[in-house]
């Protein structure tokens, strides 16, 4: 990192100031014209017994002759430096060449070479409910966080904690037995199951005894009644079959589909432990953990009829995951409405004495709405994600047919760009922010979009293709000192930091925005400089090498947010 040069020089110039204070003190000036880095001298006033504005010129004087600095200035209490451009480019190129996979890391690898495990619970769909665009967020955010951690050396275990247990399945079973037609349900899939669910509620309004039947059916499920469980299994299979088509489009995979039903026989031990620790209290017939001390409502563990609930299964699931995967962290990606649920569950686990409860992290995200109006299941205007993705592909196909009708694998590219556009759009903002989905924003090839970044990658690929085979050599950094090349160099230098920041904050948008910045910088460079027709072979090679680095950064950056990078489009 180039900043080290400045830190080293400062350490030599101010030997009395500890290294960490020097490093922490370095700033990046807001105005580029002020310099690449700045060091404020306020903290030195006491030791030097001088005003900061008097100290700055002294330090500047000591740094002045360092050939790695193009210019050193004292401005008021600040020492500002401009790094030598050639040196800067050289240092970034060296880092890039030396790395196996530039930007990746070893944070996830222990000294003995073993990898730390990260469990990621995301997507976690509800069986027999639509996979709508709201669920897209947990899926793509989770997938990106997974890729970011893998890039940093962690071993990841992605879990689809299926919502496949609960009284609603008793209702489904009753409805299916009464009115279900296997052929219609097979043909209509989840829509067919939803029809039955709606019908159940309509009929139950007229005939409340249906609710009793449903409860009885669920009790049979809980008692492992084979007949009813085979019905339930059908619902699960129908849902999984449908959702797997979406996962294929998104290229998302899971290591485990252990959902809520998986824990139905794993709750006795945790409940016994809760009892033993005196944590369970009776409240209106139900068993709860009192959390008033922590300013939270009580966590319901057992309903008055003795049945478990969502939270009980999450308690059991966390323990199972710790025992099975010995995770360094276990992450849960859901909408903000579950913030309280996870705070309660994590707190209960902590009270149970599990030291690792501190390693459980909830990653909430905001809502998605369609431009036309809010998405809602109740109003019946649900947009199925699969339809939305297929529409994105169709729209992209139309655009491609106009722009580049001769493209060989047009269908494949339309899929990568169409789906990529939707994913990119979803990951473009701080995840807590609500998102409004509008086609114009999603598919704009010139805006801050997936297609724009993909298009820039295809541009780089085209330049490199036209250049033909190149013998790998160290490019001449003195040819990359123009303003446009320098802008790219600085962005490339920042890639490893951005990856770490995105992983640490669980924020894919840091990467998506970064790829837009790199693409924009490259497009400016491309328009301002001749690459293939550069004046001399050294300049040509240096610019091609820069193009190669940009291509790598864009492709890797996109892959970290789960978006493909076609070479032609
Ligand atoms: N199925 C739930 C939903 O769609 C999300 C489950 C999240 N994971 C968990 N372990 N609770 O709202």
Render pLDDT for 314-343 as a digit per residue (tens, 0 to 9).
Answer: 999 999 999 999 999 999 999 999 999 999
- Out of 135, 149, 171, 322, pick the active-site residue: 135
- Is residue 308 within 8 Å of residue 301, measured between CB atoms? yes
CA of 231 to the centre of ligand 1 (A): 22
> How far is 372 from 160, CA to CA, in rounded Å?
30
pLDDT at 379: 44
* Residue 369: pLDDT band with limits 50, 70, 90: confident
* Residue 375: pLDDT band with limits 50, 70, 90: very low
Q: Active site includes 425?
A: no
* Residue 383: pLDDT band with limits 50, 70, 90: confident
- Is residue 6 within 8 Å of residue 81, measured between CB atoms? yes
pLDDT at 134: 81
> How far is 437 from 325, CA to CA, in rounded Å?
37
* Residue 381: pLDDT band with limits 50, 70, 90: low
Residues with Cβ < 8 Å from 382, sequence gap 6 or more?
130, 132, 375, 376
Which DSSP string corresponds to 33-68?
GG-SEEEE-GGGHHHHTS-HHHHHHHHHHHHTT-TT
CA of 162 to the centre of ligand 1 (A): 7
Instruction: Output 307-312 pairs: Cβ under 8 A, ≥24 positions apart.
Output: 307/222, 308/264, 308/267, 308/271, 310/166, 310/260, 310/341, 311/341, 311/344, 311/345, 311/348, 312/267, 312/270, 312/271
Q: Phi/psi at 31 (nearest 5 deg)?
A: -90, 130
Alpha-carbon Rg for the chain in angstroms: 29
pLDDT at 3: 85
Is 378's pLDDT higher than 50? no
- Out of 85, 116, 132, 362, pick the active-site residue: 132
CA of 269 to the centre of ligand 1 (A): 22
Instruction: Report percent pLDDT > 90 for the chain.
Output: 86
What mean pLDDT is predicted for residues 358-383? Answer: 74
* Residue 84: pLDDT band with limits 50, 70, 90: very high
Beta bridge partners of 118: 156, 329
Q: Which of the listed residues 119, 133, 161, 258 should we mutate to test ligand 1's pocket, taking the one with most ligand atoms within 8 A of CB? A: 161
The atom number, within ligand 1, closest to the CA of 338 reads 12
Q: Which two tokens stand for residue 198?
A: 């709606």
CA of 259 to the centre of ligand 1 (A): 9
CA of 121 to the centre of ligand 1 (A): 8
CA of 333 to the centre of ligand 1 (A): 8
Residue nearest to atom 1 of ligand 1 (CA): 163
Is 377's pLDDT higher than 70? no
Instruction: Report percent pLDDT > 70 for the chain.
Output: 98
Q: Active site includes 132?
A: yes
Is 365's pLDDT higher than 80? yes
Is 27's pLDDT higher than 90? yes
The atom number, within ligand 1, closest to the CA of 129 reads 4
* Residue 380: pLDDT band with limits 50, 70, 90: low
| More confident: 555 or 50 | 555
Residue nearest to atom 11 of ligand 1 (CA): 314
Residue nearest to atom 6 of ligand 1 (CA): 124
What mean pLDDT is predicted for residues 253-282? Answer: 96
pLDDT at 91: 93
- Is residue 249 within 8 Å of residue 136, measured between CB atoms? no
pLDDT at 147: 98
- The tens digit of pLDDT for each residue in 476-524 reads 999 999 999 999 999 999 999 999 999 999 999 999 999 999 999 999 9
- Out of 50, 62, 129, 490, pick the active-site residue: 129
pLDDT at 64: 92
Ligand 1 binding pocket (C-beta < 6 A) is 121, 124, 126, 161, 163, 314, 317, 332, 334
CA of 19 to the centre of ligand 1 (A): 46
Q: Which of the listed residues 133, 159, 163, 240 should we mutate to test ligand 1's pocket, taking the one with most ligand atoms within 8 A of CB? A: 163
Beta bridge partners of 117: 155
Total-model pTM: 0.93
Average pLDDT, the chain: 94
Q: Active site includes 135?
A: yes
3-state secondary structure 276-329: HCCCEEEECCEEEECCHHHCCCCEEEECCCCCECHHHHHHHHHHHHHHHHCCCE
pLDDT at 360: 98
- Is residue 259 within 8 Å of residue 162, measured between CB atoms? yes
* Residue 1: pLDDT band with limits 50, 70, 90: confident
The atom number, within ligand 1, closest to the CA of 135 reads 4
- The tens digit of pLDDT for each residue in 183-195 reads 999 899 999 999 9
Q: Which of the listed residues 133, 263, 331, 338 should we mutate to test ligand 1's pocket, taking the one with most ligand atoms within 8 A of CB? A: 338
* Residue 32: pLDDT band with limits 50, 70, 90: confident
The atom number, within ligand 1, closest to the CA of 342 reads 11
What mean pLDDT is predicted for residues 350-376? Answer: 86
pLDDT at 376: 45
Of 123, 126, 158, 119, whose CA–CA distance to 261 is shortest?
126
């Amino acid at each position: 990192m180039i900043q080290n040069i400045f830190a080293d020089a400062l350490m030599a110039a101010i030997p009395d100031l500890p290294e960490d204070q020097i490093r922490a003190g370095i700033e990046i000036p807001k105005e580029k014209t002020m310099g690449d880095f700045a060091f404020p001298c306020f903290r030195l006033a006491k030791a030097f017994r001088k005003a900061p504005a008097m100290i700055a010129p002294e330090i500047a004087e000591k740094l002045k002759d360092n050939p790695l600095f193009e210019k050193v200035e004292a401005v008021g209490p600040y020492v500002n430096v401009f790094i030598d451009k050639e040196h800067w480019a050289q240092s970034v190129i060296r880092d890039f060449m030396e790395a196996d996979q530039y930007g990746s890391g070893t944070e996830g690898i222990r000294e003995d070479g073993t990898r730390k495990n990260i469990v990621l619970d995301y997507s976690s769909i509800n069986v027999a409910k639509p996979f709508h665009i709201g669920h897209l967020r947990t899926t793509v955010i989770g997938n990106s966080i997974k890729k970011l951690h893998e890039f940093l050396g962690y071993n990841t275990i992605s879990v689809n904690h299926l919502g496949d247990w609960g009284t609603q399945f008793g209702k489904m079973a009753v409805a299916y037995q009464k009115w279900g037609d296997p052929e219609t349900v097979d043909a209509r899939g989840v829509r067919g199951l939803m029809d039955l669910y709606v019908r159940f509620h309509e009929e139950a309004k007229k005939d409340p005894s249906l609710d009793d039947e449903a409860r009885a059916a669920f009790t049979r499920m809980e008692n492992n009644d084979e007949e009813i469980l085979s019905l339930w299994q059908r619902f699960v299979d129908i849902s999984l079959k449908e959702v797997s088509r979406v996962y294929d489009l998104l290229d998302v995979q899971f290591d485990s589909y252990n959902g809520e039903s998986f824990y139905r026989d794993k709750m006795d031990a945790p409940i016994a432990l809760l009892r033993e620790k005196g944590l369970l209290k009776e409240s209106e017939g139900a068993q709860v953990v009192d959390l008033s001390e922590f300013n939270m409502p009580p966590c319901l563990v057992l309903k008055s009829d003795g049945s478990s609930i969502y939270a009980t299964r999450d308690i059991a699931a966390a323990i199972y995951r710790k025992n099975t995967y010995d995770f360094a962290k276990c992450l849960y990606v859901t909408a903000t409405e579950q913030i309280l649920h996870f705070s309660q569950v994590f707190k209960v686990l902590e009270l149970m004495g599990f030291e690792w409860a501190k390693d459980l992290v909830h990653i909430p995200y905001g809502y998605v709405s369609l431009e036309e109006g809010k998405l809602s299941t109740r109003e019946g205007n649900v947009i199925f994600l699969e339809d939305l993705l297929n529409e994105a592909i169709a729209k992209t196909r139309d655009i491609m047919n106009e722009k580049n009708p001769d493209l060989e694998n047009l269908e494949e590219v339309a899929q990568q760009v169409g789906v990529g556009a939707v994913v990119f759009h979803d990951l473009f903002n701080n995840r807590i922010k609500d998102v409004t989905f509008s086609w114009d924003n999603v598919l704009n090839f010139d805006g801050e979009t997936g297609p724009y970044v993909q298009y820039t990658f295809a541009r780089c690929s085209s330049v490199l293709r036209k250049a033909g085979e190149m013998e790998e050599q160290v490019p001449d950094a003195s040819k990359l000192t123009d303003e446009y090349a320098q802008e790219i160099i600085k962005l490339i230098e920042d890639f490893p930091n951005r990856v770490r920041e995105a992983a640490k904050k669980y924020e894919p948008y840091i990467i998506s925005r970064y790829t837009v910045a790199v693409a924009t910088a490259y497009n400016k460079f491309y328009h301002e400089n001749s690459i293939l027709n550069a004046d001399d072979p050294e300049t040509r090679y240096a610019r091609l090498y820069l193009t190669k680095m940009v291509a790598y950064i864009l492709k890797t950056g996109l892959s970290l947010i789960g978006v493909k990078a076609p070479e032609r489009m």
